[in-house]
Amino acid sequence: MDGEYQEAYIRNSRGVQLFTCRWLPFSSPKALVFLCHGYGMECSGFMKECGVRLANAGYAVFGIDYEGHGRSRGARCYIKKFENIVNDCNDFFKSICAEEEYRDKCRFLYGESMGGAVALLLHKKDPKFWNGAVLVAPMCKISEKVKPHPLVVNVLTRVEEIIPKWKIVPTKDVIDSAFKDPVKREVIRSNKLIYQDKPRLKTALEMLRTSMSLEDSLHEVKLPFFVLHGEADTVTDPEVSKCLYEKASSPDKTIKLYPGMWHALTSGEPDGNVEIVFADITVWLEKHTTDSNVMVVQPIQAFNDGIVKLNTTASSPETMNKRQKGSYFCGLKGRRLQHHSAM
């Protein structure tokens, strides 16, 4: 890779230590891309290829492991409030945007699966801040095929505060269902930072409520976006992405459905398919970074007056493939293709 990789730790408004990372091109970046990972996933390993590819294309890429995910602290994959994830991402991403060298750069959200919901909620939180979003098989609506009966939801809701962390929600093996390539599937299984147990009760209910809320507000999506989905996806229904595309108010929206591809478009498909997907993503980003009418957000006030760095390390191209140790702490307050065309 022609760039740097850095890792850092921050503390959120609740005092929880969160892991962050960034992939930076050596030259001034074309734009900033902020990663929102999926349920049970993490950034430094699982989303490494995404970070490296986009940095090689000239973008500065930033990721954060949600509380309880990856290398961040907290009960493993326990989501007490989905709003906490959104607020943590909002604080961290905007603190990056406030850095002097990035204030005049376009800002893009990139969300995969549950991360798509995070990205859409970040847009909803501040509709004019983001220049666009790339949404890969996003969780933004509950498919009618798997929507639980209201009675079941009612019963579970009655006990969620009594046994919130219990791993009692039955689910199929998502890894088997999401990753088509058997070799890549086993690589995912060997990643100890990825949560592979049953969902906790409150986590499942928070994801359900978030999806239902987003479903009711898809018409409020106004930013430019590119939604990508595998037609053979059995984890999140492709109809969900079609619904987002049809209902969103954005005049600049693109959807691409990939025949035969599964849920993990960027990490679980054969290499040839992954190349196709990333080529589409970089073409879309390039267009929306160079458009003469692109909306560039005015400089914002930094969230922190000072950042204390402790043994911060950065990787060179020679060491990019090795995980770097070192950190700094800072406190944070607080159809196929359619773009009016078809493939």
Give the residue numbers marked as catalytic: 113, 233, 263
Contact 79/281 with Cβ under 8 angstroms? no
As given in the structure block, the two tokens for residue 138 are 């996003």
If one counts every other C-beta atom within 10 angstroms of the C-beta of residue 341, the result is: 8
What residue type is 25 in one-letter code? P
Q: Compute the distance between CA of residue 99 and CA of residue 103 in angstroms, rounded to an integer.
A: 6
Q: Compute the distance between CA of residue 180 and CA of residue 65 in angstroms, rounded to an integer.
A: 24
Question: Given its phi and psi angles, is residue 225 left (phi above 0), alpha (psi -120 to 50 degrees) or beta?
Answer: beta
N-term to C-term CA, the chain? 32
Contact 219/243 with Cβ under 8 angstroms? no
Contact residues for 97 (Cβ-Cβ < 8 A; gap 6+): 32, 103, 105, 107, 297, 300
Distances (CA, A) of 83 to 41, 121, 224: 18, 9, 23
